[in-house]
Amino acid sequence: MKIMKISLFAVSVLSIIFGALMILTADGSTQEIESLMVILIASVFLVGTAIFHAIDLLRKSIDDKGKSDN
């Protein structure tokens, strides 16, 4: 599970960098729009990774609290 979160984060960051490089080399507005779409999709993946990580931390916190109550 941890490898999945790390790999999703890495893919998101690399996609954002790739999108930024695409914007730098864009010749027209169509290529700029495509670059922005790449960055938007990568941002969605990044937010998904953050939500997935937060849910995992919450689950661990609930499990730890349940163990300490017993």
Q: Does 70 score more than 80 pLDDT? A: no
Ramachandran sector of residue 26 (left: φ over 0; alpha: ψ -120 to 50; beta: rest): beta
The answer to whether the pTM exceeds 0.75 is: no
% the chain with pLDDT above 70: 96
Q: Does 52 score more than 80 pLDDT? A: yes
For 19-30, the pLDDT digits (tens) are 888 888 888 888
Ramachandran sector of residue 28 (left: φ over 0; alpha: ψ -120 to 50; beta: rest): beta
- Taking the C-alpha atoms of residue 65 and residue 63, their distance in angstroms, rounded to an integer, is 5
Question: Is 19 within 8 Å of 36 (Cβ atoms)?
Answer: yes
Which amino acid is located at 7 in the chain? S
